[in-house]
Chain A
Amino acid sequence: MNVIWNSLSWFGEPGRWSGPDGIPTRLLEHLWYSLLAFAITVAIALPLGLVLGHLRRGRAAAAAGFLVMSSANAARALPTLGLLILAVIMTSAGDLVPILIPLIALAIPPVLVNAYAGIQQVEPGLRDAAEGMGMTGRQVLARVELPVAMPLILLGLRTALIQIISTATIAAYVGLGGLGRYIVDGYSRQDYDSMAGGAILVIVLAIATQLAFAVLERAVVSPGVRPAERGRARPGTKRRARGAPPDAIPAEGRGALGGSR
């Protein structure tokens, strides 16, 4: 414990809060890479998940659903560090793009799976009622399915962003800037204070992100579908998708969906 307290003096060292290796610059770098990768991930995965979940009838839709679910399991097994290193040494090192590709590829499954499962698990009765009221397919998706699926969709987005922030830390090893630099550079200099300082910053960033999503959830999720207790079945959704293999949606359903670092 003493070692940790000692390393806190690292935060007060001269130049720590300014310059290219200062905390504000590194934090902004980290946020920039993370939000860039997150924006691309969401732009690809969210519409795809919503539409696939909405088109639940037919054999092709079932096959697509199976692929979506498998992608989450596959992504969990893929070692992030290996993909990052491979991407960097196979291309010319130092570019941002080869680092962003694994970051995005590993963040897509949680968004995709949760959006898909969220829409698919909407109670059929709700959907029938919406159709009976004369809503078109697009209106059913936007006004009924989307709000009901919102808690799961947000869970997917949160998992993806948290994972991107973690992976961006690791990516310092292959030359990316950001807070991971303190850990990687500290390790190569045998400077534990720098490593611990970087670790604390990254942990604080991840927890702040988690809290930001909790606030977002309060603002975005309609009170009617807000879970009375986290993780229990909510009104309007079924615990498991009909037709999906029983273990396709892990029973715990929380951060674990498609998560890997």
Chain B
Amino acid sequence: MSAPSAAAADGEPLIRWDWIGRNLDGVIAEAFREHLVLSFTPVLLGLLIALPLGLACARWSRLYPVVLAATSVLYAVPAIGLFVIFVAFTRLTYATVIVPLALYTLSVLVPAVVDGLRSVPGHVRQAAEAMGYRPLRRLLRVELPLALPVVMAGLRVATVANISLVSVGALIGIGGLGQLMVTGMKWPGGGFATPIIVAIVLIILLALAADLLLLLVQRLLTPWERAGRGRRGRAAAREAAAPGRAAAGEGGAA
């Protein structure tokens, strides 16, 4: 074996930089590209389902416990189990992994949408109505923007969890960076740590980058959250809004 420098105790270095160098444009780039597709498609899909579903749950509060029970049972199901079941419907395609992962995001995104909408103070809703906003316009211009911080918090959780969950798909051959882990496990002679470490590091970096990106998007979309107020002022405003929110929980959820 080459690369005698930085050798670990048993003579084999922990990370073989030459392997990384040789495969950066090939295997690693390909796995990373696949990981991107498998990470973000389910979250987008989940958001597209969670928005109308969350709206419906916020409007008809009887629906919410039913949906919540369904998504929480779904969340309990191990990902690999759901992947295997979906093979029967989709064969071995990207959809085998994307559809179950999208279903998982619902357990975070639906409550985020509902909690976000419920966090809009009743007096704000009434003010919008008094200003002549029709329901749809009120929803788009007033309620959804104000719900955004809570929704975005949910979106960040779902995205980060999803990015690491994708690698489980490698057990059925569709796992993005997870494939590198399998490569390392199957390496002749008792495994090879380098591709596994590369995969773990890239997944963590991707999760971190996605989290920061979403945080940035949230800041750009909610300029009023930081306009002219310090941390303390915002905290005070939140306290002040709390009683209004409690009252709005029952009466204002038209």
Contact = CB atoms under 8 A, between A and B. Distances in A.
Interface of A: 1, 3-4, 7, 73, 76-83, 85-86, 88-90, 93, 162, 165-166, 169-170, 173-174, 180, 183-184, 187, 192, 195-196, 198-200, 202-203, 206-207, 209-210, 229-233, 246-247, 250-256, 259-261
Nearest to A208: B76
Nearest to A239: B242
Contacts of A256: 75, 107-108, 154, 157-158, 161
B76 A198 contact: no
A195 to B, nearest CB: 5
Chain B, interface SS category: helix
Contacts of B164: 76-80, 260
Interface string B83-127: 111011100000000000000000110011001100100000000
A184 B154 contact: no
A196 B84 contact: yes
A160 B216 CA distance: 31
Nearest to B105: A256
B79 A166 contact: yes
Given A250-B108, A254-B107, 19 more contacts: A77-B204, A78-B200, A79-B164, A81-B171, A81-B175, A86-B200, A89-B190, A89-B196, A170-B80, A183-B171, A195-B87, A199-B81, A206-B78, A207-B77, A233-B246, A251-B150, A255-B107, A256-B75, A256-B161
Given A89-B196, A166-B79, A206-B78, A77 B115 contact: no
B220 to A, nearest CB: 16
A83 B182 CA distance: 12
Interface stretch (B21-29, B65-73, B128-136): B65-73
B85 A250 contact: no
A160 to B, nearest CB: 12
Contacts, number: 193
A57 B177 CA distance: 43
Contacts of B65: 229-230
A77 B160 contact: yes
Nearest to B185: A85
Nearest to A206: B76
Contacts of B165: 79, 260-261
Interface in B140-197: 149-150, 153-154, 156-158, 160-161, 163-165, 167-168, 170-172, 175, 177-178, 181-182, 184-185, 190-193, 196-197
Interface string B201-212: 001100110000
B178 A252 contact: no
Contact of A89 (B77, B84, B153, B184): B184
A255 B81 contact: no
Contacts of B87: 192, 195-196
25 contacts: A1-B89, A78-B164, A79-B178, A79-B203, A82-B167, A82-B203, A85-B184, A85-B185, A162-B76, A166-B80, A169-B81, A173-B185, A183-B81, A184-B171, A195-B84, A199-B81, A199-B85, A207-B73, A230-B68, A251-B112, A251-B115, A252-B157, A256-B157, A256-B161, A261-B168
A209 B111 contact: no
Given A1-B88, A203-B81, A260-B161, A251 B116 contact: yes
B199 interface: yes
A33 to B, nearest CB: 14
Contacts of B203: 77-79, 82
Contacts of B51: none
A76 B161 contact: yes
**Of A82, A90, A196, A259, which is in contact with the most chain B CB atoms at under 10 Å from its CB?**
A82
A202 B81 contact: yes
Nearest to B192: A89
Nearest to A240: B238
B77 A203 contact: yes
A196 B108 contact: no
B82 to A, nearest CB: 7
